[in-house]
Amino acid sequence: MRCGVDIGGTNTIIGIVDDKGKIIDSDCLKTGKYESAADLTVTIAYSILRMAKVNQASIESIGVGCPNINPGNGRIEKAANLNFKEAVSLRDEFLKYFPDTPLFFENDARAATIGESVYGSAKGLKNFILVTLGTGLGCGIMHEGQLLEGELGMAGEVGHAIIHPGGRRCGCGRQGCLEQYVAANGILATYRETCLRNGEQARAEDYHALAELARQGDSTALQAYREAGTTLGIALANMACFSSPSHIFLFGGVAQAGEPLMAPAREAFEKNLLFCYQGRIRLEFSGLMHSARNAGILGAAALYRR
Amino acid sequence: MRCGVDIGGTNTIIGIVDDKGKIIDSDCLKTGKYESAADLTVTIAYSILRMAKVNQASIESIGVGCPNINPGNGRIEKAANLNFKEAVSLRDEFLKYFPDTPLFFENDARAATIGESVYGSAKGLKNFILVTLGTGLGCGIMHEGQLLEGELGMAGEVGHAIIHPGGRRCGCGRQGCLEQYVAANGILATYRETCLRNGEQARAEDYHALAELARQGDSTALQAYREAGTTLGIALANMACFSSPSHIFLFGGVAQAGEPLMAPAREAFEKNLLFCYQGRIRLEFSGLMHSARNAGILGAAALYRR
């Protein structure tokens, strides 16, 4: 059995997977509850050991997807969306509990990209981009079947491309990053700004409540999604200029908002694509979208295959 | 001997190169004088045949660097900075005169990237980006020693990333493309807008005159370069997020403006780099910068090595 751990800004999902890619057991922790990497890891380790025991499974490898991690050494320097901002080696933390198990670490979005390639809609595709929209915006770029890592193992950090110099403050310490306009907190900020402009009382405390308002047809909430979708569509058209993919897949909690976000995103994407790409790049939802929980586990569990 | 042809928006440069990378002979045409690909190609062919005869050289291969070309089939669909907008096969044109010579085609900026890798400052580097600043903005992305081509052979068209939705009109038919703010005509447009705002008479007819004004210390010209440099620095910081390079090299006629452009570009680049890249990506001039003419020839001539 393989183990996959997906550490996200909101949830940490842990699962064990058989040789056919079937998830045998899984568990979920609230990432925000843990103040340090050590606290989080001990709880993850307990969960893995418990699942292994209950299912009488021997764990052949553990793959961990995590924001801002260096895949080479398993170090997190400063994760914008995690509580623990200090530089820390997640590999060292895991080694305390699993000294003899092969360990693999990867940026969460890049792990999801491998998951899409192995289990999802990108099977057999050589050039595609996966964009994860959740607490932040993550991205994995597959080029000729090879996942872009780059010199520092940090390729695909396009959530932190600056689209509005001097704009909204980001957890990374800078201003105007893409994710501050199209990921969960960004859409919430747009909603609040719109309410303020309209002299309305904001009716959503957090992103979850905003998504619910949009589902109920609240016009201000829908307007916030429309603005985010348009910005996202232009950003995706710009990404296409960089690596010339055949497909772009969207994934994650925010992508699950569906058409209120996707209709303007698709429109802005096609309108803003450079002529040589027009009609030639498919913008789709991830094939693992029906179960974000499973996708995170599968991507992380598949890391041993790299 | 190898032949290299570099078709740029302003000049087309042709040269023959020996096995050691020494340029034996070269020639230059004004690209804008030719209304069709057929007209341009016949003149290039004449030049190659003349040089081969004068130097008693046998041409083993011809490499052609050209904007917007598909390296797979040698077709240009619609080049924003060339007169001939109709779709045309440059390969078919060259085959008329060189039916038995191996022919290689590549986007001009990607050819320059190979030239930088083989003959310039990027020798031995695995992950770097080359940005060419001239009539337009071109880009080649080297990742783990492999040049990004992408599904459509069109990777690196970041000059057409939209940075100001609804902004300046671009030759590609859209609005707000990066090159309209940081390449030659973009800086000229900024200069003219600044003059208008200041109630000054614009004193530069074209980019060449503007560059001369800046050299003489004209404060409005210098302000235009400063604005362009800041925009360029942010754009380069955003590119770094995509592929995580160790180096970014700048090349081309506009980069030769030197410090008036580079000082604000460097400042904005470092300021806007995501923390995990700060101090870890070198922004430098191309090693072939001292001779743009030679660099274009060498990049194109080196294409047979791919």
Hey, where are the domains in chain B? Answer: 2-112+292-305, 124-286
Minimal-distance CA residue of chain A relative to B125: A151
When pLDDT is cut at 50, 70 and 90, the band that residue A294 belongs to is confident
Count of alpha carbons within 13 angstroms of residue B147, beta-carbon side: 26
Beta strand spans in chain B (E): 2-7, 11-17, 23-30, 61-65, 69-70, 75-76, 88-89, 103-106, 128-133, 137-143, 146-147, 247-251, 282-285
Cβ-proximal residues to A278 (8 Å cutoff; 6+ apart), any chain: A270
CA distances (Å), B84 to each of B34, B79, B89, B94, B276, in order? 8, 7, 11, 16, 44
Contact flag B152-A277 (C-beta cutoff 8 Å): yes
Q: Is the dihedral of CA B139, B142, B146, B150 positive or negative?
A: negative
Is any Cβ of chain B less than 8 angstroms from the Cβ of A152? yes
Cβ-proximal residues to B205 (8 Å cutoff; 6+ apart), any chain: none
A116 in Cβ contact with A130 (< 8 Å):
yes
| DSSP-derived pairing of the beta strands B103-106 and B88-89 | unpaired
Contacts of A155 in chain B (CB under 8 A): 143, 242-244
Cβ count near A234 (within 10 Å) = 24
Distance CA A84, CA A35 (A): 6
- Interface confidence: ipTM more than 0.85: yes
pLDDT tens by residue, B123-169: 899 999 999 999 899 999 999 999 999 998 889 999 999 999 999 99
Minimal-distance CA residue of chain B relative to A178: B238
Domain A124-286 CATH (choose: 3.30.420.40, 1.10.1740.10, 3.40.50.720, 3.60.70.12): 3.30.420.40
Is any Cβ of chain A less than 8 angstroms from the Cβ of B238? yes
pLDDT tens by residue, A65-103: 998 888 888 998 777 667 777 788 999 999 999 999 999
SS3 A235: helix
Contact flag B245-A150 (C-beta cutoff 8 Å): yes
Contact flag B276-A146 (C-beta cutoff 8 Å): no
Tokens 């990921």, located at residue: A183
Choose among B68, B245, B276: nearest Cβ to A77: B276
In this prediction the pTM is 0.89
pLDDT at position A227: 97
Contact flag B162-A272 (C-beta cutoff 8 Å): yes
DSSP state of A171: T
Is any Cβ of chain A less than 8 angstroms from the Cβ of B127? yes
Is there a common fold for A2-112+292-305 and A124-286? yes
- Beta-ladder partners of A105: A64
Kindly report the nearest CA distance between residue B188 and chain A, in angstroms.
22
CATH architecture of B2-112+292-305: 2-Layer Sandwich (3.30)
Distance CA B246, CA B141 (A): 11
A26 in Cβ contact with A269 (< 8 Å):
no
pLDDT at position A105: 95
Which amino acid appears at position A306 of this protein? R
pLDDT at position B274: 93
A44 in Cβ contact with A16 (< 8 Å):
no
* Chain B 202-231, residues with CB within 8 Å of chain A CB atoms: none
Contact flag A280-B152 (C-beta cutoff 8 Å): yes
Contact flag B152-A237 (C-beta cutoff 8 Å): no
